[in-house]
Amino acid sequence: MKKSTVGAYGKWLSRLSLNGPGPFSFRNRRFRSAGQWRRLARPRVLDRLAMPKTGAPKARVTSSCVRDGLRVEHLEWRLPYGPPVEAVFLKPAGARGRLPGILALHCHGGNKVLGWRKIALGREEPSPLERKHVEHYYEGRFWANELARRGYAVLAHDVFGFASRRVRTRDVLDRVRGNAPAADPRTEAEIWRYNEWAAGHESVMAKALFDAGTTWPGVVLAEDMAALSVLAARPDVDARRLGCGGLSGGGLRTVYLAGLDRRVKCAFCAGYMTTWRDMAVTQCWTNTWMVNLALLPGEMDFPEILGLRVPAPTLVLNTRKDQLYTLPGMKRAAAILRGIYRKAKAPERFRCSFYPGFHKLDVKMQEEAFGWMSRWMGKR
């Protein structure tokens, strides 16, 4: 027997996993049109997510400047729970009228001290740790800024569990905090010590969320929807032309946000596309609790969440040696999405590309994503 993440139970889990269309899959013959499918499947996914209510927050500008040809605004808003959300808004300096808006979704990367600063450059110079992160995953480019330079209004915000929204060790029970320092981490060594603690705390948080009647992806989606409302409400943003995208954890967030929020007209998902079966049997140990939902894997496959947006334009970017998934799992997910768009008679609105190398969104991949946005939303 092949080895699995759960030993001898892997074969059993493989049999439990969907090997064909689930009852809420568009591949199921009972669904004749995308509209019919969405009317039944979308409420089912939302029910499984058990999202908290956030409302439409009002953002305030905490500082602003012009940097490298961009208007930069640091923002803050409050949600009904947790510390304030910090964010950055970027657009070309001197731009007039309403611009198409992009919600840039930061990655996980095992670093919860950083949030939007993983992908965007604000007023301050980036720290050495931020530069290392951007070099490793994005080939040295703060891609949110680059996208803004091409004529978009871009918003990047910290999401639940990261940066301004992270759990402070001083606020948790001593037994849960363990040997982690109570003070906020400042040095690189302290930051990685905190991140090591936060990685273990994900399971504690996931249990707490389940026990409270919600889910981690439900909380993240609620916060991303709130951020999209902040972006859409701006007088310099065309709310009819909104897009989103991101790598890794940002790609995961794209799956849920673009799949379930009809305001998203164009999307790119990088480094987060596989099947529930792939995750259950071999890859769940590499992934975050931000993805997990009870019961839904028996009803529809993971890529079908993103497929709920059909026929809206959708780009998926993969790397052949991505450490988070198996190549067969990624190819199977791409085939599922391709089939959804083919059945909806919109095959030209879906594209999946495979690049050489490991988990990343390098400049070449970014250029494909930007070209996709330009094709369907305008600008260059």
97 alpha-carbon distance from chain centroid: 29
d(CA 220, CA 160): 6
Structural contact between residues 31 and 37, judged by C-beta atoms closer than 8 angstroms? yes
Strand ranges, E, within the chain:
60-67, 70-77, 85-92, 99-105, 153-157, 237-247, 264-270, 314-319, 350-355
| 58 pLDDT higher than 80 | yes
Q: What is residue 347's predicted lDDT score, i.e. its pLDDT?
A: 98
Segment 74-99, tens digit of pLDDT: 999 999 999 999 999 999 998 999 99
* Sheet of 85-92, strands arranged across: 60-67, 70-77, 85-92, 153-157, 99-105, 237-247, 264-270, 314-319, 350-355
pLDDT range class, residue 380, cuts 50, 70, 90: low
Domains of the chain and CATH, by start = 7-52+247-377 (3.40.50), 60-225 (3.40.50.1820)
Beta bridge partners of 351: 315
Q: Where is pLDDT greater, at 288 or 247? A: 247
Please write down the HEC assignment for all residues of 105-146: ECCCCCCCCCCHHHCCCCCCCCCHHHHHHHHHHHCCCCHHHH
**Burial, 96: exposed, middle or buried (Cβ in 10 Å; 0-12, 13-18, 19+)?**
exposed
Q: What is the pLDDT of residue 1?
A: 47
107: which 2 tokens?
């990655």
212 pLDDT above the threshold of 50 = yes
Whether 309 and 258 have beta carbons less than 8 Å apart is answered as: yes
pLDDT over threshold 70, residue 52:
yes
DSSP-derived pairing of the beta strands 153-157 and 350-355: unpaired
pLDDT at residue number 307: 98
Residue 85 pLDDT: 98
pLDDT range class, residue 182, cuts 50, 70, 90 = confident
- Placement of tokens 């992009």 in the chain: 102
Sequential DSSP letters for 179-196: TS-SSPP-SHHHHHHHHH
What does the pLDDT average to over 283-307? 89
Query: How far are the Cα atoms of 138, 213, 241, 245, 249 from residue 271, in angstroms, in the given order?
Result: 12, 29, 24, 11, 8
Max mean pLDDT range (19-33, 292-306, 341-355):
341-355
Rounded Cα gap, residues 286 and 263, in angstroms: 31
Cα radius of gyration rounded to whole Å, the chain = 20
Residues 73, 230 contacting (CB under 8 angstroms): no
Rounded alpha-carbon distances, angstroms, from residue 352 to 84, 272, 330: 36, 12, 10
Instruction: Tally Cβ neighbours within 10 Å of residue 170.
Output: 11
Would you say residue 325 has pLDDT above 60? yes
pLDDT tens for 256-289 read: 999 999 999 999 999 999 998 888 888 777 788 8
| pLDDT tens column, 102-157 | 999 999 999 999 999 999 999 999 999 999 999 999 999 999 999 999 999 999 99
Give pLDDT, residue 334.
97
Q: What angle do CA 348, 238, 149 make, to 5 degrees?
A: 80
Task: Decide: 261 and 56 in contact? Cβ < 8 Å.
Answer: no
